[in-house]
A and B are shown apart, each in its own frame.
Chain A
Amino acid sequence: MKYRIFKDKITGAAMAALVVSSLFLVVMLGLGLLYYSIPVLKEHSISELLFTSSWQPSANKFGFLPFIISTVWVTGIAIVFAVPISLLSAIFLTEYSKPRLKKAVFPVLDVLASLPSVIYGLWGSLLLVPIISRFAASAGISTTGNTILAGGIVLGVMILPLLVSLFVEIFSAVPVEIRDTSVALGATRWQTVKKVLLKKTISGILASVVLAVSRALGETIAVLMVCGGGKLLPLSPLDSGFPIPALIASAYSEMGSEDTYKSALLFAALLLFIIVFLFNLSSRIILYRIEKRFT
């Protein structure tokens, strides 16, 4: 009898240790990245790294600005593309559609969510890139099609399933009675959506978008395959670009034993980690609160 209780206590303590140690994983990730980026931070100031645009590792010049701007462009295009589509789809699924259509849509979203990013990259470069190149040619611009625009659209499609499922979850949590009240007062369905549903869930929608932004920021392989990889400051979506994750992925193989170069790339990873960490943390906390409020 005592033995059983003893066993319960011992395994409980072991599991507690396992669970608590997982808390430190995130901290270790951050500290590890910081440790490896110290060499480059010793030689260059942070503002020099972030706000200059000449990237010549052999001449000890590490200006991340072109890569940062590329990242912002690509992510911006992805969000502008994905948010309206996913918002309207989610509204349709929760407010308008019959259950049968809903059952057909979710598996499709599943597939979209589970496709690996190399597949998206391949799709982008086989299908989107030639289309963009042709369109640009007819507008008098010559480009291979490997552009920031292509990367943005591919990323946009990649974050669609995440956004739709988050939006659907948020909308379904709003009580039916609130909608009934609005409809009973003579509002159309769309008016109800616009003035009641969206207003009630605006914080959740924003949190979801922030989450999607952080997903798009870290996406590597697809943008590496379609963005082209120009190391100059991109001026329009039809220029080729080089987002930070793609830089890390492609430069790490060229890198010899040069410590500063290696360290600069880990600094880029640290930058990415900090932004994604803050975005994730804030949006998750908001989403937890919403979940709690409605249940």
Chain B
Amino acid sequence: MKFLEEKIFKILMYLSLGIVFAAVISIIITIFAKGVSALSWDMIFHTGRQGGILNAIAGSIYIVGMSTCIGLIISIPTVFYLNIFRKKDSKLGYFVRLSYDVMFGVPSIVYGILGYAVMVSLGMRSSLLGGIIVITLLILPIFVRSMDEVAKDFPRDILDTAYSLGATRLETIRVVLRQIVPGIATATLLSIGRAIGDAAAVMYTAGWSEMIPSSFKQKAATLPVAVLEFYQQPFSDVQDKAYASAIILTIIVLLLSIGGRFIMNKFSKNKLQ
């Protein structure tokens, strides 16, 4: 009897894993099957007015690039302070980590609509700048939490060595940074992945434009919003643009995820201790 139960549940487990694999494979096949025929060099190198999606690609690159830089500038000092200047089990550390975890859970549409409401009250319109600010807020928790996971395991001995050589806490940053570089890299890749795929946060704050934005005040198109906009149109040549944007987005995300794995594997082999 108990062996029968064992067998049944083992089959169910294989089935569950099978569903997980089937889901991934069917998503990728669906997107590629539709996208490959729609994608062409013409589409990539022409802006919306000329029937391409270059405006969306450029907009995504601008927004993701800028917000990733701002995210790095804010998160590195935060993580460094929490792990070096404060004790491991400090109250402040607990609450800051908790609040970033909670912020990580806040849906992107909430950031999007609140950001837009604030912008309207300040007399701003949808713009590249708005998109950058909202996306920065969105990815900041990912930056802080995933970097912190790596920094938490930072070997104390190395710190003590630096201190005994006369370094101040601030001066240990050179040693610490060198040790957590792989962590920073994975955190960055994760954040870029989230930032580039999020439509809900940018659909109003950055808006939509047929052209490549040339200043922070102009509206900017993005790839996920392009998928959303074009897919809802009833014309098949416009829907092709949606599929093309989707396949570009998927390829970028796949590359980021493979890259993240690669860095993590490499890192865990060379880990100290």
Q: Which residues of A approach B to under 8 Å, CB–CB? A: 4-5, 7-8, 11-12, 14-16, 18-20, 22-23, 25-26, 29, 32-33, 36, 84-86, 88-89, 91-92, 96, 105-112, 114-123, 125-127, 157, 160, 164, 188-191, 211, 214-215, 217-221, 224-225, 245, 248-249, 252-253, 262, 265-266, 269, 272-273, 276-277, 279-281, 284-285, 288
Q: A19-B78, A114-B257 are in contact. Are A36 and B107 (CB under 8 A)?
A: no
B107, A225: Cβ atoms closer than 8 Å:
no
B197, A108: Cβ atoms closer than 8 Å:
no
CB-CB under 8 A from B106, the residues of chain A are 26, 29, 218, 273, 276-277, 280
Could you give 24 example pairs across A and B, Cβ below 8 Å? A7-B168, A16-B81, A19-B78, A22-B100, A23-B99, A25-B103, A26-B99, A32-B118, A86-B16, A92-B17, A106-B261, A114-B253, A115-B253, A116-B253, A119-B227, A121-B228, A123-B31, A188-B6, A190-B10, A248-B109, A265-B113, A266-B113, A273-B110, A280-B104
B250 interface residue, CB < 8 Å from A? yes
Interface of A is mostly: helix
B256 interface residue, CB < 8 Å from A? yes
Would you give the shortest CB distance from B190 to chain A, in whole angstroms? Answer: 8
Cα–Cα, bound, A211→B12 (Å):
25
CB-CB under 8 A from A23, the residues of chain B are 95-96, 99
CB-CB under 8 A from A32, the residues of chain B are 114, 117-118
B123 interface residue, CB < 8 Å from A? no
Would you give the shortest CB distance from B184 to chain A, in whole angstroms? Answer: 17
Cα–Cα, bound, A92→B20 (Å):
13
Interface residues on B, range: 35 or more
Interface of B is mostly: helix
B114, A33: Cβ atoms closer than 8 Å:
yes
A96, B26: Cβ atoms closer than 8 Å:
no
A190, B5: Cβ atoms closer than 8 Å:
yes
In the complex, identify which listed stretch (B154-162, B174-182, B199-207, B211-219) lies at the interface while the others stay far away.
B199-207
Cα–Cα, bound, A7→B193 (Å):
36
CB-CB under 8 A from A220, the residues of chain B are 107-109, 199-200
Cα–Cα, bound, A36→B114 (Å):
8
Cα–Cα, bound, A18→B2 (Å):
58
Cα–Cα, bound, A217→B267 (Å):
35
Cα–Cα, bound, A217→B106 (Å):
10
- The residue of chain A having its C-beta at the shortest distance from the C-beta of B200 within the complex is A220
Would you give the shortest CB distance from A84 to chain B, in whole angstroms? Answer: 7
Cα–Cα, bound, A18→B243 (Å):
42
B257, A219: Cβ atoms closer than 8 Å:
no
- Contacting residues of chain B (1-35) with chain A, CB-CB under 8 angstroms: 2-3, 5-6, 9-10, 12-17, 19-21, 23-24, 26-28, 30-31, 34
Tell me the total A-B contact number using a CB cutoff of 8 A. 251
Q: Which residues of B approach A to under 8 Å, CB–CB? A: 2-3, 5-6, 9-10, 12-17, 19-21, 23-24, 26-28, 30-31, 34, 74, 77-78, 80-82, 85, 92, 94-96, 98-114, 116-118, 137, 140, 144, 168-171, 190, 193-194, 196-200, 203-204, 224, 227-228, 231, 242-243, 246, 249-250, 253-254, 256-258, 260-261
Contact of A157 among B12, B23, B103, B257 (CB under 8 A): B23
B13, A111: Cβ atoms closer than 8 Å:
no
CB-CB under 8 A from A284, the residues of chain B are 98, 101-102
A112, B20: Cβ atoms closer than 8 Å:
yes
New A-B pairs, 17, CB < 8 Å, besides A19-B82, A118-B246, A252-B113: A7-B168, A12-B81, A19-B78, A19-B81, A29-B111, A88-B15, A111-B257, A115-B197, A116-B198, A118-B249, A119-B246, A122-B227, A122-B243, A122-B246, A269-B114, A272-B110, A280-B102
Would you give the shortest CB distance from A196 to chain B, in whole angstroms? Answer: 14
Would you give the shortest CB distance from B163 to chain A, in whole angstroms? Answer: 12
Q: A25-B99, A252-B204, A280-B105 are in contact. Are A119 and B23 (CB under 8 A)?
A: no
- The residue of chain A having its C-beta at the shortest distance from the C-beta of B81 within the complex is A15
Q: A20-B92, A111-B24 are in contact. Are A211 and B105 (CB under 8 A)?
A: yes
